Structure 1
Amino acid sequence: MPSFDIVSEIDKVELKNAVDNANRELTTRFDFRGVLAELELNDLIVQLKSESDFQVRQLLEILRGQCTKRAISLAGADIEDTPIHSGKTFSFNVTFKQGIDQPIAKQIIKLIKENKLKVQASIQGDKVRVNGKKRDDLQEAIALLKKSDIELPLQFENFRD
């Protein structure tokens, strides 16, 4: 019986490259010359620091641009609403999510069931496994999920016959 897994993973190497490229871009920007501004990556959390609220928001835009170039989606990332002010610096934390959490997994399963596809979906930890009798049914499920408005970047892997 054919099956595939739906996962949401961030490529840590590409994220590190995006942060490094954003830091490199900072050195060439005129509006950040002589200003304390940096992007720091700890596991899956990117901390943006600068001297003003406006500049830290500009750092966020630089990070967005670099992530887009590296095919990293910020759709599933938690971005704080207001910068944290401490001492001379303002800081933002951007937390990237790894895996599909329970409510979104249930939303995926509900979406598949509502469209009456001839597949079965089940939650397997932090991923969703989809089984079906025909390969075409599985491809239909993938197409449906790509068109859906789920706020996580989804990848489809382990497609087996």
Structure 2
Amino acid sequence: MASEYSFDVVSKVDMAEVNNAVTQALREIETRFDFKGSKSNITFENEQLVVSSEDEYKLKSVIDILQSKLIKRGVPILNMDYGKIEPASGATVRQNIKLKQGIDQEHAKKMNILIRDSKLKVKSQIQGDQLRITGKSKDDLQAVMTLLRGAGLPLELQFSNYR
């Protein structure tokens, strides 16, 4: 039996699922009556989505369709960073949506402090864009998972490499 157990806290987005969700959203936009003849489009490249449409109302509708497809495919929408709506060519508007991969240093430090303040007998250390939690008790590790899920952080967390 192992003397110490550990797991990694990560925040990843499956790009293949995002691509599938974009394809499904585009298919739905083509078939919906309220988008007939509109210039609505979604492009996906380099971990960034560009959503464009004729006006802000239709743009928000396209984003709603995209979000519903992402949720159905299990992609966390908390990891999406919405840019501002800007005018584009051809009397259209567009919005850039960046997909956040990994945990940035600021959020990692907040999680580290949160774990330390919980008085659980675990150690946490930042390793690049993830957090490694180690402890002698599996119950303490599961308490840390529950603590982090309920912390209300602005990104979706996954727990991997549980040993």
Unmatched 5+ stretches in structure 2: none
Contact 1:132 1:138 in 2 (8 A): yes
Q: Give 1:75 shift.
A: 1.1
Alignment identity in percent? 38
**Alignment pair present for 1:90 and 2:93:** yes
Aligned length: 159
For residues 53 and 141 of structure 1, the distance between their equivalents in structure 2, rounded to whole angstroms, comes to: 42
**Alignment pair present for 1:10 and 2:13:** yes
List per-residue Cα deviations over 1:66-124 (Å, max 9, x = no partner). Answer: 111111121121112x4110232110111110000000000111111111111010000
Q: Which of 51, 57, 67 matches 2:54?
A: 51
Contact 1:56 1:83 in 2 (8 A): no
Q: Which residue of 2 aligns with 1:66?
A: 69
For residues 12 and 18 of structure 1, the distance between their equivalents in structure 2, rounded to whole angstroms, comes to: 10
Structure 1 segment 1-161 matched on structure 2, within 5 A:
1-80=4-83, 82-87=84-89, 88-160=91-163
Greater than 3 Å deviation, 4+ residue runs: none
What TM-score do the two structures reach when normalised by structure 2?
0.94
The amino acid that maps onto 1:27 is: E
For residues 140 and 79 of structure 1, the distance between their equivalents in structure 2, rounded to whole angstroms, comes to: 32
Contact 1:121 1:128 in 2 (8 A): yes
For residues 25 and 98 of structure 2, the distance between their equivalents in structure 1, rounded to whole angstroms, comes to: 16
What TM-score do the two structures reach when normalised by structure 1?
0.95
CA RMSD after TM alignment: 1.0
The amino acid that maps onto 2:154 is: E
The amino acid that maps onto 1:139 is: Q
Unmatched 5+ stretches in structure 1: none
